[in-house]
Structure 1
């Protein structure tokens, strides 16, 4: 399996990235038509977040979100195989100075992110820019394919940390001034219900726990596609917590809510770039299903 994927990636990265991106977008739109299960998930998510919008708008955003996912998937061989210089030439930076200053403090940084536009390029960009970065990820079951992905994602020096290895490494990484990158926009079965886009979803509290315990600076980061091309803007922003009266501390839920709220403007601005195909609000879906069953 891994050999097949490597061969396919090698061939695709030989083609112009704009061509494979356009082909991927076309495949994504095709899958919108034939993949009823995921189409239903996307439209259900859009109904939950944008109840006031007309059906035609939601269908258009659903189409484009599938197209963006297909475009991103077929761009991945270029992300994993092209040079540092080539990839950095495709990314504009915004807010990096504040992030660099936070890293220079030597206490580490908690860097929160989401699946927005080409997230593989976003994750790779931190090590390309020279930052010591630890990224928490979910290993694949197929060992050889997992190794290929690990090699690709760490080729510029990033450290990938499996969800299965615990967090004993994290305090040392912060002490050494690393940036700890955590995705906060995915359903976590053992997570804590926190509003995301205004609706409760099971969410990791890792950024809140370690930011509070070690007084670690919190940042958000997102990668925006420029038009439909293989050009992007990488944006960093500091996440400031509301002021508290003396003797009080923020709870993990309050911190996570502030973090999640900081991503909402970007998603609302260009909703087609976010990964709607994921059941982000499974927590609410299950609650609603139980309520319906109790009424029968």
Structure 2
């Protein structure tokens, strides 16, 4: 996808259209997502379909933004508005590293890239893709913005070293841990949740700072929020 040749707004529009296309063509996964969405949100199938479709559209736009990070980085302050970053700065001042906790919400890659571009010592847990070339592409794009990828499977040695060096360890915690997690309520339903990052934080005495990033209604700009550190 030569999206970097297009104006940013046009590239995002293309990404959104591709996301909608995937939603329409991938009927099996889309239908399952709609049913789950309706169950968890307690809404009608029609409302759930709209929510899931918009999620696909957002993912399409997010992919385009990720591929265009080299271009976006030059005007990152125009695209991302940051709120309460002092919560992260205070946590880093402790000198024991920080676990930055977020989820697959908004454009999480853009949140990490923002910190890397601003010279924060950013590391991120990364999943291995089925195609090793895709894994390398993702790692290379992250690295171009100052974000180092740490292997998934919760690379314990890499994660410990990251925190010992006083760096930021980015973790996405909303994936199904199956029999390796603990059961915690999510939207009123039991969900298997990874507990490795919490155990690591307790062992290393590292603060946990939650963050989330939200795309604005204009589909171009984002708000990045840093919450206060979680209490042990």
Q: TM-score, normalised by structure 1?
A: 0.72
- Compute the displacement of 1:132 (Å): 0.8
Q: 1:193-239 deviations in whole A, cap 9, x for unaligned? A: 22233322222112210122222211111111111322111110024
Q: 1:238-287 deviations in whole A, cap 9, x for unaligned? A: 2434xxxxxxxx7xxxxxxxxxxxxxxxxxxxxxxxxxxxxxxxxxxxxx
Q: For the residues of structure 1 that align with 2:54 and 2:72, how far apart are their CA atoms?
A: 29
- Compute the displacement of 1:45 (Å): 2.1
The 5 A counterparts of 1:161-200 are 161-164=150-153, 166-189=155-178, 190-200=180-190
More strand as a share of residues: 2
- Compute the displacement of 1:44 (Å): 2.0
Q: For the residues of structure 1 that align with 2:31 and 2:46, how far apart are their CA atoms?
A: 15
Partner of 1:102: 91
Match of 1:237 among 212, 227, 232: 227
Partner of 1:287: none
Q: For the residues of structure 1 that align with 2:17 and 2:91, how far apart are their CA atoms?
A: 41
1:88–1:128 contact (8 Å) kept in structure 2: no
- Indicate how the Cα distance of structure 1 residues 34 and 143 shifts in structure 2: closer, same or farther if over 3 A, else same: closer
The 5 A counterparts of 1:18-57 are 18-51=9-42, 53-57=43-47
- Indicate how the Cα distance of structure 1 residues 172 and 24 shifts in structure 2: closer, same or farther if over 3 A, else same: closer
Q: For the residues of structure 1 that align with 2:154 and 2:41, how far apart are their CA atoms?
A: 38
CA root-mean-square deviation: 2.0
Q: For the residues of structure 1 that align with 2:186 and 2:116, how far apart are their CA atoms?
A: 28
Partner of 2:107: 118
Match of 1:128 among 117, 122, 127: 117
Max Rg structure: 1
Q: For the residues of structure 1 that align with 2:118 and 2:156, how far apart are their CA atoms?
A: 25
Partner of 1:66: 56
Q: For the residues of structure 1 that align with 2:93 and 2:152, how far apart are their CA atoms?
A: 27
- Compute the displacement of 1:165 (Å): 7.5
For structure 1, the residue ranges without an aligned partner over 5 or more in a row are 1-7, 242-249, 251-296
Q: For the residues of structure 1 that align with 2:20 and 2:131, how far apart are their CA atoms?
A: 28
- Indicate how the Cα distance of structure 1 residues 165 and 34 shifts in structure 2: closer, same or farther if over 3 A, else same: closer
Q: For the residues of structure 2 that align with 1:41 and 1:35, how far apart are their CA atoms?
A: 10
Q: Which moved more, 1:122-131 or 1:175-184?
A: 122-131
- Superposed structure 1 runs of 4+ greater than 3 Å apart: none
For structure 2, the residue ranges without an aligned partner over 5 or more in a row are none
- Compute the displacement of 1:103 (Å): 0.5
Q: For the residues of structure 1 that align with 2:147 and 2:177, how far apart are their CA atoms?
A: 24
Match of 2:66 among 76, 80, 84: 76
Count matched residues.
231
